[in-house]
Amino acid sequence: MTEHFDVAIAGAGPAGAQCARDLAERGYDVVVLETESEDEFPAQSNKSTAGTFPSMMGAFGIPDDVVMNYTDDVVLESPNEHFVRHQPGAVLEFADFKNFLVEDGRESGAEYWFDARVSNPVMDDGEIVGVQYDGQNEVYADVVVDATGPAAPLAKKLGVTDLERKNQAIGVEYELEGIDVDAEGYADLTDAMMLRLDHDLAPGGYSWIFHTGEDTAKVGLCYIQNEAHRDYAKDGMGIDDYLQYWLDTDPRFEDAERIEGKQHRGSAHIQMPSSFSTDNFMAIGDTVPTIDPLWGEGIHTCMKSGRAAAVTADRCFMASDRDTSAEKLSVYDDLWHERVAPKMRTRLLMTQLLYLVSNERYDTLIRDLNRVDADALRKANAGSTRGVLKLLHTEDIPTLARFAKERLL
């Protein structure tokens, strides 16, 4: 006999697991279907750098024991400059974090089915009423949630998500030991998360060092194969080559060694979402492009999207006629724009412009950041036009003109 739940969620990542936690705490019958086996989870999906901020930890009740290192500062580097800002943060052990979300959801009553690869929506009269998994197996629900990330097997087939390959960011990261986190000529990275803008290392993207304690850190880079990447890329080099090039040329890694089994790969799409929901269905996390396009922080936004979907489902279920139509579920779309990723379009445009400029302009930007007051920086980071204008120079006009032309083509 086919089982029926209030909500069926495809994917046990941060968005899906948080959505399940919230719904189970409200007393709803919820099932999460996860592709990986329970014994290995999350070996295949352990892909995040897992840098986040205390606001996420507090808002979602995340315990200290999933934190590798609490950090005090954020550092921005360019080829020849650096900027340091006091900003408390946390570098998580991503696997422990995901397992905590699963176990906490289970304690509240959520069911987890592992080894359950979701492949297709189950349709009735043009509306999704369940999911197909592992061949011909089916499970039914009043609301179905796709939290599978860029694979998006349900959202794509329902026409909710339109992820374009040209907007796909790819990343690779190693965990290293033996790093000199306070090397001469560089910013002190002790208890810091560092992002570096440098086309020599990550053409059309950025690289990072997240200190995880003592002489260890997460070190990686990512980029989109866009026009900026084509402008600055070296012939014949792939993403692994760039990371190895950085390790070979930066003196901070002279005595560093890779920690066995600690290599992570991932991808996300950096683009405006086209839609989020339809009848009986919502797409959350990286199934829609939720990652912050400017600085790449994705855990907090994914968690917020999972919570927004849970709030929306709860509102629909509390109605006397349990209405899960597209009209009622569109509350989730509004919450996404208001609470999950406000000013997403502005931040996306800032990101596209940022990766077009040269290394020399990155040096100027870092000098400017050291010049402007903290309030101006906060406004620019939040997508304020006035804040951004304070960081522009007259020599940026040709880049702005090129940027505008490419947007119109």
> What residue ranges define each of the domains in the chain, with the CATH number in brackets?
4-50+95-163+274-340 (3.50.50.60), 69-91+166-269 (3.30.9.10), 345-408 (no CATH)
CA separation for the pair 44, 168 (Å, rounded): 19
Binned at pLDDT 50, 70 and 90, residue 401 comes out as confident
359-398 burial, b if ≥16 CB within 10 A, otherwise e? eebbbbbbebbeeeeeebbebbbebeeebbeebeeeebee
Element at 84 (helix H, strand E):
strand 82-92
Residue 375, pLDDT score: 73
* Nearest alpha-carbon partner for 294 in 231, 373, 352: 352
Omega before residue 42 within 30° of 0, cis: yes
Please, which pLDDT band fits residue 46 given cuts at 50, 70 and 90?
A: low
Is the confidence at residue 15, as pLDDT, over 60? yes
Average pLDDT over residues 312-341: 95
* The predicted structure's pLDDT at residue 291: 83
pLDDT greater at residue 45 or residue 272: 272
How does pLDDT run across 96-110, given as a tens digit for each residue? 999 999 999 999 999
* Strand residues in 114-191 grouped as ranges (E): 118-124, 127-133, 137-146, 168-177
Note the pLDDT tens digit of each residue in 264-276.
998 888 888 989 9
* Tokens, residue 42: 């999350």
Tokens of residue 396, six digits: 């940026």
Q: How many residues does the chain have?
A: 409
Band of the pLDDT at 71, cuts 50, 70, 90? very high
Whether the pLDDT of residue 407 is over 70: the answer is: no
Supply the pTM of this predicted model. Answer: 0.92
- pLDDT of residue 408 exceeding 90: no
Q: What is the mean pLDDT of residues 113-141?
A: 97
Average confidence score pLDDT of the chain: 91
93: pLDDT strictly greater than 90: yes
Q: pLDDT tens across 152-194, in order?
A: 999 999 999 988 888 888 999 999 999 999 999 999 999 999 9
Give the pLDDT of residue 2: 72
24-28, 164-168, 240-244: range with lowest mean pLDDT: 164-168
Give 339-389 pLDDT, tens digit per residue: 999 988 888 888 888 888 899 999 999 998 898 877 766 776 666 767 766
Task: Please report, for residues 1, 81, 127, the alpha-carbon distance to residue 122 in angstroms, rounded to integers and kept in the order given.
Answer: 16, 55, 8
Strands of the sheet containing 67-77, edge to edge, are: 51-52, 82-92, 67-77, 192-196, 205-213, 216-224, 168-177, 257-269
Tell me the average pLDDT across 233-248.
96
Q: What is the pLDDT of residue 392?
A: 75
DSSP reduced 3-state for 382: coil
Find the mean pLDDT for residues 58-80: 96
Predicted confidence at residue 142, as pLDDT, reads: 98
Residue 123 has pLDDT above 90, yes or no: yes
Element (H, E) at 402: helix 397-408
pLDDT of residue 303: 96
pLDDT band at residue 406 under the 50/70/90 scheme: low
The rounded percent of the chain whose pLDDT value lies above 70 is: 94
Question: What is the bridge-based pairing of β-strands 216-224 and 168-177?
Answer: antiparallel
For position 385, what pLDDT does the model report?
67
**Which percentage of the chain shows pLDDT scores above 90?**
72
* 90, containing H or E segment: strand 82-92
